[in-house]
Structure 1
Amino acid sequence: MTRSKRAAVAAIVLLAATAMLLYLMGRPPICTCGAIDLWVGEPNSSRTSQMLSDWYSPSHIVHGFLFFAGLWLVGRRWPLERRFLIALAIEAAWEIVENTPLIINRYREETAALGYTGDSVLNSISDIAMMIGGFLVARRLPVWASVAIVLVLELVPLFVIRDNLTLNVWMLLAPNEALKAWQSGGSASALIAHFMH
């Protein structure tokens, strides 16, 4: 069996194990509404984080770009398959941690995701697939194109829903009330004034 085939088998096993663990943690397989939608465009909908994609999906694509870059920096001599499986394991681990009561409550208390209840298994596996897509695209593109795509994937959600990966990480690690107020619909001028003082 070739290295690529071994990596593909390992990836499938890891995805299946992640899905099973999330299910055993009590995550619903699909949205409790019984539907499976391709896209949820309303960020505060109860269906966000339940379907195949939503406004938070771009952040998982960005994960793929960042993991590719980071693993290239620390292990550029490693086979691509090893770097891919490491990225996959990190993303799968995040999906598990993200769906623990500790992180769910942290999102609800410190970020704009006030109604967040965790992901469906379907959404988590889709999020991992988004990371895989980002990783595989990053390996084919020049650095400038990867940087441009990451900027677009961060800026579009920032302007449309006032959230993105950068703000998500910021609010999880160092919550800021002024930023939270802006994300919840407050004025940009109040946010700017807060950071100017």
Structure 2
Amino acid sequence: MTIAAGSQDDKQRRAALWLLACLGVLAIQVLVQHLMGRLWICECGYIKLWEGVVKSSGNSQHLSDWYTPSHVIHGFLFYGLGHLLMRGKPWSARLLLATVIESAWEIAENTPMVINRYRAATISLDYFGDSILNSAMDTLAMAVGFLIASRLPVAATVAIAIVLELFTGYMVRDNLTLNVLMLVWPLDAVKAWQAGV
């Protein structure tokens, strides 16, 4: 074995360890949400690939929904953050940082405080939190976004983010930008527009 081959094997081994750590973080997220009393799947008792109705009891309960693109964009943003904070580190180490941030959000998002904030400040009047399955899929969607951003030029990643935001904004009057705005600084005019008033 040459030194170069040994070095490549070592890099692959380290990458595998970082990815294993990412799976560990996801497992912790799932466990914490289980201990919080979150439902594993939709209360309806079945799993759908796609839940296309935002104002329904199935929203945020199945494998994907209109908020999945927001989590892909999280991946874009976290890739950029990792690039800034962890220059010189392998992409797999940066993915671990992104997974920790996303998992922390997924746990926080499903606390009574944040759920009640969504109900009070946004159009999500019937929101009662994510199922564990949906939350885990949100984290995986973030990882997909991270991997996309790691492969594409910045301009292409930004363009995809803009298209996703405009598309979901048009289709359901909500997207990552509006979600953050309404969670942090709710505006009655935006809430009325989102409600279709």
TM-score norm. by structure 2 comes to: 0.92
2:181 aligns with one of 148, 151, 170: 170
Aligned counterpart in structure 1 of residue 33 of structure 2, from 22, 26, 50? 22
Superposed displacement of residue 74, structure 1: 2.6
Question: The residue matched to 2:104 in structure 1 has which SS?
Answer: helix
**Alignment partners' CA distance in 1, 2:138 and 2:170:** 21
| CA distance in structure 2 between the aligned counterparts of 1:67 and 1:153, rounded to whole angstroms | 17
One-letter amino acid matched to 1:129:
L
Q: 60, 76, 95: which is aligned to 2:87?
A: 76
Where 2:151 maps in the other structure, the secondary structure is coil
> Across the two proteins, how many residue pairs are aligned to each other?
186
Q: C-alpha separation between the residues in 2 aligned to 1:11 and 1:67?
A: 14
Matches within 5 A, 1:122-141: 122-141=133-152
Query: Is residue 2:69 matched to residue 1:67?
Result: no
Stretches of structure 1 lacking an aligned partner (at least 5 in a row)? 187-197
**Distance in 2, Cα, partners of 1:16 & 1:70:** 23
User: How far off is 1:168 after superposition?
Assistant: 0.4
Aligned counterparts of 1:105 and 1:13: Cα–Cα separation in 2 = 29
Unmatched segments (≥5 aa) in structure 2: 1-9
What residue is the counterpart of 2:5 in the other structure?
Answer: none
Q: Percent of pairs identical after alignment?
A: 53
Q: CA RMSD in A?
A: 0.9
Residue equivalent to 2:104: 93
What's 1:185 paired with? Answer: 196
Letter in 2 for 1:76: R
- Counterpart check, 1:35 vs 2:64: no
**In 1, are the aligned partners of 2:15 and 2:93 still within 8 Å (CA)?**
no
Cross-structure match for 1:189: none
